[in-house]
Structure 1
């Protein structure tokens, strides 16, 4: 096999491959064996027609397309490996020559991984900052715990609805004089201030009482998911069936004991320690992101559009998986948000471009620094995975030692080492 790689502009090039004539003959024979089962000629049993008979009847060219497929599957990957290029998309194939007894010549127009020109990636002058946890932060967290432990008490008919109360209501919405579909509910619990209803709805219930009936007038948002209602004025006829108020527990030692602490001081101490740990973790994440962002910003690279498109597709799939875990699909989500797939992709594209550039930059740091994975690194990673999946180490090792799997693990370790290097030298 002869291989020639000619680099062009815009991260593209042409790979010219010449496959020896003997491989052409063996591929035609493979094509014959695959195709003969579907060829019928009078006087022969189906699948038993000799190759010469088929060639005399239809010409040897009948096997060329299938033979070309066999050769492309075998020799394109070999040509890629020999030339040392890294394709990032499917090639455009142009068959130059295919004839029995002659070499098979094809050209592949290939988009390859771009070269990255790293800028400064050490001594960036970025420092980690950790937010100091104040007494006010602790009090706010304890207050949140108090709210979560609150009891809902059914109020009497003289209690006016206030922010934070729950109003149990019947409602029906009208556009003009006509009720609209999906605008009706009975005994619906609505937390005032939750902003779960149309803007302006909940505020009009404040000050009302049990048994009150009122008209609530609102305007649907222009980007409302139901096009028939978007931007329109509506009136909801509302009846208040029940009012529930929150009864907060007292913040004392009894409250602490109910939450498995001996005293309120101990509870606050624990809250502060956890908030400090969270602040430390957040500081680490923000520091790491700031360093990676700066290194990415300092680098220069011409990113092929196909890499951005591939990342966009991955992002959409990731969103579909998240929605599925919440019992929703992408189509329903888009209907609810009033968008469409192309609009969503346009919104995600800047992040996709950033992700692709960051990945390329980290890979280049790995190469520049000669970062390698030792057997000890791999063993440690296997142990972590075994612990994560609650499996035996040998079982995990067997799975991730398979071709392709081990390389993926090693790539992840290299990337992590590269990020650690950047952080240490920032």
Structure 2
């Protein structure tokens, strides 16, 4: 196949590839001859079908296969000889495709953008700061108090006490619409915490102030968007009997509480909380240092970017931000969303850093292990309770989905590799300072 260069500007490449008609015909004849010994056709013995008949019946399909094989082979040889690495799949268009007929030369135009040459980076010259936060006693105590609140119990209030917000009332109720009881609208000995918002609006408010033994007729209206269509927007009456009024009691900070959370003693629980807090601080600190690392790389390393990658990334950013700003629009019928200059600027940063990290990771032979990938799949599967098996099958059958799971793991491992080469100084700060640093990440 004859290859002629038509464009070589920056990262853009263009070529015309020509397959002479005679060469194409020879390829078709050769493929037919190779297939002839195995072909059976009514009226002929195996391997004795005339070439003209083979060509008439199978020629068009083999002609198409030969054209495709020629183009694929020529492109593969061209990329091997030039060393070009296309940023995305090359665009291939056949000249005069609709007008082409057998006997004409096959001429195709091939265009693509190559991945740029990534400059070397002296990772040892990167200066990074790692924020270190110790789990102070006050933070551990605060976490313990929260555990106690979550583990709270309820005990009966004095006889005749009125139910207040945060109290738990035990009730029997029967709900009716238009005088008829409806399915799922009745219960006995139901524990309801006032102010929890677990019932439809207005229900809990009408029971605030009730006492044990009171019978209350609660009148409410189901929301117009209520999940049960037959009840949506309907007025309802709940005949309610208050059987008990209880006040919340925080659990005591003792060994018994610790055992409820799987620790041998209160001291061991404190140790576990301190370890968990410091792990959270370490994760937050890592995020801050990673941003600083990426900022330094983005400022220090410049190279040409494939427009096709930047445009695709800018479009994805614009689409994602649109849905964040319009959370009620779950479809994709909003039409094309034009990326802004700000979207394009962010896209350039992401593409540049993505290519740079990929290059550094490749040279450092960073790999995502099967164990790391499996762990990521299992963590993701937890977001689909009851559908884990379908999720696993989807991942197994979808290479793109596999890559989406591998990519962030690979990036984090490359960041760790870079941090190991860089100059990193630890700086002990308060929990509040770390929180401010994390909040600042969202402002950039």
Q: Shorter-chain-normalised TM-score: which range?
A: 0.5 to 0.7
Q: Which residue of 1 aligns with 2:350?
A: 358
Q: Does 1:214 find its partner at 2:218?
A: yes
Q: Which residue of 1 aligns with 2:395?
A: none
Question: 2: CA distance between counterparts of 1:12 and 1:198?
Answer: 61
| Change in 2 beyond 3 A, CA 1:273/1:310 | closer
Give the CA deviation at 1:279. Answer: 1.3
Q: Which residue of 2 aligns with 1:93?
A: 93
Query: Of the candidates 162, 165, 169, which is equivalent to residue 165 of structure 2?
Result: 162
Q: Which residue of 1 aligns with 2:26?
A: 25
Superposed CA RMSD:
6.0
Question: 2: CA distance between counterparts of 1:39 and 1:309?
Answer: 54
Secondary structure at 2:218 match in 1: strand
- 1:31, 1:66 within 8 Å by CA — same for their partners in 2? no
Q: Which residue of 2 aligns with 1:66?
A: 65
Query: Of the candidates 139, 143, 146, which is equivalent to residue 141 of structure 1?
Result: 143
Q: Which runs of 5+ in 1 are unaligned?
A: 316-336, 390-404
Q: Does 1:106 find its partner at 2:108?
A: yes
| Change in 2 beyond 3 A, CA 1:235/1:110 | farther
| Change in 2 beyond 3 A, CA 1:70/1:253 | closer
- 1:254, 1:263 within 8 Å by CA — same for their partners in 2? yes
Secondary structure at 2:110 match in 1: strand
- 1:218, 1:234 within 8 Å by CA — same for their partners in 2? yes
Give the CA deviation at 1:341. Answer: 2.9
| Change in 2 beyond 3 A, CA 1:133/1:265 | same
Query: Of the candidates 393, 417, 420, which is equivalent to residue 417 of structure 2?
Result: 420
Question: 2: CA distance between counterparts of 1:341 and 1:167?
Answer: 43
Query: Of the candidates 281, 284, 289, which is equivalent to residue 283 of structure 2?
Result: 281
Question: 1: CA distance between counterparts of 2:186 and 2:205?
Answer: 19
Give the CA deviation at 1:136. Answer: 3.7
| Change in 2 beyond 3 A, CA 1:418/1:338 | closer
- 1:89, 1:112 within 8 Å by CA — same for their partners in 2? no
- 1:173, 1:234 within 8 Å by CA — same for their partners in 2? no
Give the CA deviation at 1:346. Answer: 9.1
Question: 2: CA distance between counterparts of 1:133 and 1:201?
Answer: 43
Question: 1: CA distance between counterparts of 2:30 and 2:146?
Answer: 75
- 1:122, 1:425 within 8 Å by CA — same for their partners in 2? yes
Q: Which residue of 1 aligns with 2:392?
A: none
Corresponding residue pairs, total: 370
Could you give the per-residue CA deviations for residues 4-61 of structure 1, whole angstroms, max 9, x where no partner exists?
4544789764333345755663356437978999998x86689974332354x58966
Question: 2: CA distance between counterparts of 1:201 and 1:8?
Answer: 73
TM-score, structure 1 normalization:
0.58
| Change in 2 beyond 3 A, CA 1:166/1:49 | farther
- 1:171, 1:236 within 8 Å by CA — same for their partners in 2? no
TM-score, structure 2 normalization:
0.57
